Homo-oligomer: A and B are copies of this chain.
Amino acid sequence: MALSNEDLIKMCRQMVYVRKFEEHIEEEFKAGNIPGWCHLGIGQEAIQVACHWALRKDDYYFYDHRNKVMTLIAGTDPKAVMAECFGKKTGICKGKGGEMHIADKSVGNMGNNEIQGANLAISLGTAVASQIRGTDQVTAVFFGDGTTGRGEFHEGLNLAAVWKLPIVYCCANNLYAISTPHREAHAVEDIADLARAYGIPAEVVDGNDAVAVYEAMTRAVQHVRSKKGPYFLEFKTYRWQGHFVGDPAANRPEEEVAYWKARCPIKRMKERLISEGIMSEADFERMSEEVEQEIHELIKYAHESPEPSLEEAVEDVYYGLEVAAR
Protein backbone atom coordinates (compact mmCIF):
# COMPACT_ATOMS: atom_id res chain seq x y z
CA MET A 1 0.00 0.00 0.00
CA ALA A 2 1.59 3.25 -1.10
CA LEU A 3 1.73 6.07 1.40
CA SER A 4 -0.38 9.11 0.65
CA ASN A 5 0.83 12.60 1.31
CA GLU A 6 -1.37 12.64 4.34
CA ASP A 7 0.20 9.45 5.57
CA LEU A 8 3.65 10.91 5.14
CA ILE A 9 2.71 13.99 7.08
CA LYS A 10 1.25 11.88 9.84
CA MET A 11 4.34 9.72 9.93
CA CYS A 12 6.50 12.77 10.18
CA ARG A 13 4.40 14.08 13.00
CA GLN A 14 4.67 10.78 14.84
CA MET A 15 8.44 10.86 14.53
CA VAL A 16 8.50 14.34 15.95
CA TYR A 17 6.17 13.16 18.65
CA VAL A 18 8.30 10.27 19.84
CA ARG A 19 11.44 12.40 19.63
CA LYS A 20 9.93 15.13 21.76
CA PHE A 21 8.43 12.61 24.10
CA GLU A 22 11.91 11.30 24.79
CA GLU A 23 13.56 14.70 24.93
CA HIS A 24 11.16 15.66 27.64
CA ILE A 25 11.76 12.45 29.49
CA GLU A 26 15.45 13.25 29.37
CA GLU A 27 14.83 16.69 30.75
CA GLU A 28 12.60 15.38 33.53
CA PHE A 29 15.07 12.68 34.33
CA LYS A 30 17.91 15.14 34.59
CA ALA A 31 15.76 17.29 36.83
CA GLY A 32 15.36 14.31 39.13
CA ASN A 33 11.69 13.81 38.46
CA ILE A 34 12.00 10.35 36.97
CA PRO A 35 13.44 7.55 39.08
CA GLY A 36 15.74 4.80 37.86
CA TRP A 37 17.16 4.98 34.37
CA CYS A 38 16.16 6.23 30.98
CA HIS A 39 17.06 4.51 27.74
CA LEU A 40 16.45 6.88 24.86
CA GLY A 41 15.97 5.85 21.27
CA ILE A 42 16.63 9.27 19.81
CA GLY A 43 17.92 8.78 16.28
CA GLN A 44 15.89 5.61 15.69
CA GLU A 45 12.50 7.22 15.11
CA ALA A 46 12.08 5.99 11.56
CA ILE A 47 12.02 2.41 12.76
CA GLN A 48 9.91 3.19 15.78
CA VAL A 49 7.24 4.84 13.70
CA ALA A 50 7.25 3.34 10.24
CA CYS A 51 7.21 -0.33 11.27
CA HIS A 52 3.86 0.10 12.86
CA TRP A 53 2.38 1.39 9.65
CA ALA A 54 2.76 -2.05 8.15
CA LEU A 55 1.27 -3.87 11.11
CA ARG A 56 -2.30 -4.50 12.07
CA LYS A 57 -4.08 -3.61 15.29
CA ASP A 58 -4.56 -7.25 16.27
CA ASP A 59 -0.91 -8.22 15.78
CA TYR A 60 1.44 -8.94 18.68
CA TYR A 61 4.37 -6.61 19.38
CA PHE A 62 7.43 -7.11 21.52
CA TYR A 63 9.59 -4.03 22.05
CA ASP A 64 12.78 -3.52 24.00
CA HIS A 65 14.38 -0.89 26.23
CA ARG A 66 15.22 1.28 23.26
CA ASN A 67 11.84 1.27 21.62
CA LYS A 68 9.25 1.66 24.32
CA VAL A 69 7.86 4.73 22.56
CA MET A 70 6.57 2.45 19.83
CA THR A 71 3.65 1.70 22.07
CA LEU A 72 2.51 5.30 21.46
CA ILE A 73 2.30 4.52 17.79
CA ALA A 74 0.52 1.26 18.54
CA GLY A 75 -2.11 3.31 20.31
CA THR A 76 -1.35 3.28 24.01
CA ASP A 77 -2.61 6.34 25.83
CA PRO A 78 0.47 8.60 25.96
CA LYS A 79 -0.51 9.86 29.39
CA ALA A 80 -0.28 6.34 30.74
CA VAL A 81 3.14 5.85 29.18
CA MET A 82 4.50 9.09 30.54
CA ALA A 83 3.03 8.39 33.96
CA GLU A 84 4.66 4.95 33.92
CA CYS A 85 8.06 6.53 33.34
CA PHE A 86 7.39 8.60 36.43
CA GLY A 87 6.29 5.50 38.33
CA LYS A 88 2.82 6.83 38.98
CA LYS A 89 -0.37 4.97 39.77
CA THR A 90 -1.86 6.18 36.51
CA GLY A 91 0.95 4.55 34.56
CA ILE A 92 0.13 1.82 32.09
CA CYS A 93 1.67 -0.66 34.56
CA LYS A 94 0.58 1.31 37.63
CA GLY A 95 4.14 2.39 38.31
CA LYS A 96 5.37 -1.10 38.98
CA GLY A 97 7.22 -1.54 35.72
CA GLY A 98 8.75 1.82 34.87
CA GLU A 99 10.15 2.65 31.47
CA MET A 100 11.80 -0.77 31.24
CA HIS A 101 8.54 -2.66 31.60
CA ILE A 102 5.82 -1.19 29.50
CA ALA A 103 3.14 -3.52 28.27
CA ASP A 104 -0.28 -2.69 26.95
CA LYS A 105 -2.25 -5.77 26.20
CA SER A 106 -5.10 -3.74 24.80
CA VAL A 107 -3.00 -2.66 21.81
CA GLY A 108 -0.97 -5.88 21.46
CA ASN A 109 2.15 -4.63 23.27
CA MET A 110 3.33 -7.75 25.07
CA GLY A 111 5.93 -6.04 27.19
CA ASN A 112 9.41 -4.66 26.78
CA ASN A 113 10.98 -7.29 28.87
CA GLU A 114 14.41 -6.21 30.08
CA ILE A 115 16.23 -9.48 29.97
CA GLN A 116 17.73 -9.00 26.56
CA GLY A 117 16.92 -11.86 24.25
CA ALA A 118 14.12 -13.28 26.36
CA ASN A 119 11.53 -11.85 24.00
CA LEU A 120 13.14 -13.83 21.18
CA ALA A 121 11.84 -16.92 22.98
CA ILE A 122 8.57 -15.47 24.28
CA SER A 123 7.55 -14.18 20.88
CA LEU A 124 7.52 -17.77 19.65
CA GLY A 125 4.59 -18.28 21.95
CA THR A 126 2.30 -15.63 20.54
CA ALA A 127 3.17 -16.88 17.07
CA VAL A 128 2.32 -20.44 18.05
CA ALA A 129 -0.94 -19.11 19.44
CA SER A 130 -1.83 -17.55 16.08
CA GLN A 131 -0.96 -20.81 14.39
CA ILE A 132 -3.02 -22.93 16.75
CA ARG A 133 -5.97 -20.59 16.46
CA GLY A 134 -5.57 -20.41 12.71
CA THR A 135 -5.55 -16.62 12.63
CA ASP A 136 -3.31 -14.54 10.40
CA GLN A 137 -2.00 -12.44 13.25
CA VAL A 138 1.65 -11.53 12.98
CA THR A 139 4.12 -11.26 15.83
CA ALA A 140 6.70 -8.50 15.46
CA VAL A 141 9.70 -8.55 17.74
CA PHE A 142 12.09 -5.61 18.07
CA PHE A 143 15.62 -5.94 19.40
CA GLY A 144 19.10 -4.54 19.01
CA ASP A 145 22.29 -5.86 17.45
CA GLY A 146 23.82 -6.70 20.82
CA THR A 147 20.88 -8.86 21.78
CA THR A 148 21.65 -11.19 18.89
CA GLY A 149 24.56 -12.49 20.97
CA ARG A 150 22.14 -14.35 23.22
CA GLY A 151 21.38 -18.03 22.84
CA GLU A 152 17.65 -17.35 22.48
CA PHE A 153 18.41 -15.67 19.17
CA HIS A 154 19.36 -19.07 17.79
CA GLU A 155 16.69 -21.10 19.56
CA GLY A 156 14.10 -18.60 18.41
CA LEU A 157 15.11 -18.29 14.76
CA ASN A 158 15.60 -22.02 14.37
CA LEU A 159 12.17 -22.84 15.73
CA ALA A 160 10.47 -20.03 13.87
CA ALA A 161 11.99 -21.31 10.64
CA VAL A 162 11.16 -25.00 11.20
CA TRP A 163 7.65 -24.34 12.37
CA LYS A 164 7.12 -21.53 9.84
CA LEU A 165 5.97 -19.23 12.59
CA PRO A 166 4.41 -15.87 11.72
CA ILE A 167 7.16 -13.67 13.15
CA VAL A 168 8.78 -10.55 11.75
CA TYR A 169 12.18 -10.05 13.32
CA CYS A 170 13.10 -6.37 13.46
CA CYS A 171 16.68 -5.84 14.48
CA ALA A 172 17.82 -2.27 15.01
CA ASN A 173 21.54 -2.52 14.41
CA ASN A 174 22.75 0.72 15.96
CA LEU A 175 26.35 -0.49 15.98
CA TYR A 176 26.73 -0.79 19.73
CA ALA A 177 25.64 -2.78 22.73
CA ILE A 178 26.26 -0.33 25.56
CA SER A 179 29.97 0.38 24.90
CA THR A 180 30.80 -2.64 22.78
CA PRO A 181 30.98 -2.16 19.02
CA HIS A 182 28.98 -4.66 17.03
CA ARG A 183 32.06 -5.72 15.07
CA GLU A 184 33.97 -6.75 18.15
CA ALA A 185 31.21 -8.90 19.55
CA HIS A 186 29.72 -10.50 16.47
CA ALA A 187 31.07 -12.76 13.81
CA VAL A 188 28.84 -11.30 11.14
CA GLU A 189 28.76 -7.74 9.90
CA ASP A 190 25.20 -8.06 8.64
CA ILE A 191 23.04 -9.93 11.11
CA ALA A 192 20.72 -10.57 8.19
CA ASP A 193 23.29 -13.05 6.88
CA LEU A 194 22.88 -15.14 9.98
CA ALA A 195 19.11 -15.12 9.61
CA ARG A 196 19.47 -16.27 6.01
CA ALA A 197 21.43 -19.28 7.14
CA TYR A 198 18.23 -20.55 8.75
CA GLY A 199 16.49 -20.13 5.45
CA ILE A 200 14.70 -17.03 6.70
CA PRO A 201 14.33 -14.32 4.07
CA ALA A 202 16.23 -11.28 5.28
CA GLU A 203 16.86 -7.73 4.21
CA VAL A 204 19.26 -5.03 5.25
CA VAL A 205 17.41 -1.75 5.35
CA ASP A 206 18.36 1.89 5.80
CA GLY A 207 16.84 2.31 9.23
CA ASN A 208 16.88 6.08 9.10
CA ASP A 209 14.64 6.32 6.07
CA ALA A 210 11.07 5.98 7.27
CA VAL A 211 9.72 5.21 3.83
CA ALA A 212 12.30 2.50 3.20
CA VAL A 213 11.52 1.06 6.61
CA TYR A 214 7.83 1.07 5.86
CA GLU A 215 8.28 -0.58 2.50
CA ALA A 216 10.53 -3.31 3.83
CA MET A 217 8.23 -3.91 6.74
CA THR A 218 5.30 -4.16 4.37
CA ARG A 219 7.08 -6.86 2.37
CA ALA A 220 7.98 -8.67 5.56
CA VAL A 221 4.50 -8.56 7.03
CA GLN A 222 2.91 -9.64 3.77
CA HIS A 223 5.19 -12.66 3.60
CA VAL A 224 4.56 -13.58 7.20
CA ARG A 225 0.85 -12.97 7.18
CA SER A 226 0.44 -15.24 4.21
CA LYS A 227 1.87 -18.04 6.36
CA LYS A 228 5.16 -18.39 4.52
CA GLY A 229 7.11 -18.34 7.76
CA PRO A 230 9.31 -15.76 9.47
CA TYR A 231 11.04 -12.78 7.88
CA PHE A 232 14.02 -10.85 9.12
CA LEU A 233 14.76 -7.15 8.79
CA GLU A 234 18.00 -5.57 9.86
CA PHE A 235 17.72 -1.82 10.17
CA LYS A 236 21.04 -0.02 10.10
CA THR A 237 20.76 2.93 12.44
CA TYR A 238 22.36 4.74 15.33
CA ARG A 239 21.43 5.94 18.78
CA TRP A 240 22.59 9.48 19.29
CA GLN A 241 23.15 9.26 22.98
CA GLY A 242 24.73 6.95 25.49
CA HIS A 243 23.13 3.70 26.55
CA PHE A 244 21.12 5.55 29.17
CA VAL A 245 20.77 9.17 30.13
CA GLY A 246 23.97 10.05 31.91
CA ASP A 247 26.17 7.60 30.02
CA PRO A 248 28.74 9.78 28.23
CA ALA A 249 29.35 7.03 25.63
CA ALA A 250 32.85 8.41 25.64
CA ASN A 251 34.30 5.71 23.47
CA ARG A 252 32.37 6.54 20.34
CA PRO A 253 34.27 8.65 17.78
CA GLU A 254 32.88 12.16 17.45
CA GLU A 255 32.85 11.91 13.66
CA GLU A 256 30.75 8.81 13.87
CA VAL A 257 28.14 10.57 15.99
CA ALA A 258 28.23 13.58 13.69
CA TYR A 259 27.86 11.39 10.61
CA TRP A 260 24.75 9.81 11.98
CA LYS A 261 23.24 13.01 13.32
CA ALA A 262 23.51 14.36 9.80
CA ARG A 263 21.39 11.38 8.76
CA CYS A 264 18.66 12.22 11.25
CA PRO A 265 15.50 10.36 10.26
CA ILE A 266 13.27 13.30 11.06
CA LYS A 267 15.38 15.77 9.10
CA ARG A 268 15.32 13.34 6.22
CA MET A 269 11.55 13.03 6.27
CA LYS A 270 11.06 16.72 6.68
CA GLU A 271 13.35 17.55 3.77
CA ARG A 272 11.58 15.07 1.63
CA LEU A 273 8.19 16.50 2.44
CA ILE A 274 9.36 20.02 1.84
CA SER A 275 11.18 19.22 -1.38
CA GLU A 276 8.17 17.36 -2.67
CA GLY A 277 6.00 20.30 -1.74
CA ILE A 278 3.92 18.27 0.68
CA MET A 279 4.76 20.46 3.61
CA SER A 280 6.38 23.82 4.20
CA GLU A 281 9.03 24.71 6.73
CA ALA A 282 6.33 26.71 8.49
CA ASP A 283 3.96 23.74 8.53
CA PHE A 284 6.66 21.72 10.16
CA GLU A 285 7.33 24.38 12.77
CA ARG A 286 3.67 24.68 13.55
CA MET A 287 3.32 20.94 13.89
CA SER A 288 6.35 20.75 16.11
CA GLU A 289 4.93 23.33 18.39
CA GLU A 290 1.63 21.56 18.55
CA VAL A 291 3.41 18.37 19.53
CA GLU A 292 5.47 20.26 22.07
CA GLN A 293 2.24 21.44 23.65
CA GLU A 294 0.83 17.93 23.74
CA ILE A 295 3.91 16.57 25.42
CA HIS A 296 3.75 19.37 27.97
CA GLU A 297 0.30 18.18 28.86
CA LEU A 298 1.59 14.67 29.37
CA ILE A 299 4.38 15.85 31.63
CA LYS A 300 1.92 17.89 33.61
CA TYR A 301 -0.35 14.88 33.88
CA ALA A 302 2.47 12.68 35.06
CA HIS A 303 3.54 15.22 37.64
CA GLU A 304 0.07 15.60 38.98
CA SER A 305 -0.70 11.92 39.01
CA PRO A 306 -0.90 10.20 42.38
CA GLU A 307 1.61 7.71 43.69
CA PRO A 308 0.38 4.15 44.03
CA SER A 309 -0.71 3.20 47.51
CA LEU A 310 1.62 0.96 49.46
CA GLU A 311 -0.74 -2.00 49.43
CA GLU A 312 -0.52 -2.09 45.64
CA ALA A 313 2.99 -3.41 46.09
CA VAL A 314 1.59 -6.84 46.85
CA GLU A 315 -1.17 -6.83 44.25
CA ASP A 316 -1.01 -8.94 41.10
CA VAL A 317 1.69 -11.29 42.30
CA TYR A 318 -0.63 -14.23 41.76
CA TYR A 319 -4.00 -14.59 40.20
CA GLY A 320 -6.52 -15.28 42.91
CA LEU A 321 -4.11 -15.45 45.82
CA GLU A 322 -3.30 -12.57 48.11
CA VAL A 323 0.17 -11.81 49.35
CA ALA A 324 0.48 -10.37 52.83
CA ALA A 325 1.49 -6.73 53.13
CA ARG A 326 3.49 -5.39 56.07
A contact residues vs B (CB 8 Å cutoff)? 149-155, 157-158, 161-162, 184-188, 193-194, 196-200
Give the CA-CA distance A200 to B197 in the complex, in Å.
13
User: Given the complex, which residues of B lie within 8 Å of A157, measured CB to CB?
Assistant: 187
CB atoms of B198 and A194 under 8 A apart: yes
CB-nearest residue of chain B to A230: B187
Contact of A162 among B150, B151, B184, B193 (CB under 8 A): B184
Number of copies: 2
Q: Which residues of chain B are near A152, meaning CB under 8 Å?
A: 151
Closest Cβ of chain B to A298, distance in Å, is: 39
* Closest chain B residue, CB of each to CB of A160: B187
Q: Is the CB of A150 within 8 A of B155?
A: yes
State the Cβ distance, A198 to closest chain B Cβ, in Å: 4
- Closest Cβ of chain B: how far from A160's Cβ, in Å? 8
Q: How far is the CB of A240 from chain B (nearest CB, A)?
A: 26
Q: How far is the CA of A248 from the CA of B197 in the complex (A)?
A: 34
Is A197 a contact partner of B199 (Cβ separation < 8 A)? no
Docked CA distance A149–B152 (Å): 10
Write 10 A-B pairs (CB below 8 A) sorted by A numbering.
A150-B151, A151-B151, A151-B153, A154-B154, A154-B155, A157-B187, A158-B186, A187-B199, A187-B200, A188-B198
A154's partner among B153, B162, B196 (CB-CB below 8 A) is B153
4 smallest CB-CB distances across A and B, nearest first, come from A151-B151, A154-B154, A197-B197, A161-B187
Contact (Cβ within 8 A) B194 A188: no
A154, A162, A186, A199: residue with the most chain B Cβ atoms closer than 10 Å:
A154
CA distance A194 to B187 in the complex (A): 12
Residue of A152, A153, A158, A187 with highest tally of chain B CB at under 10 A: A187
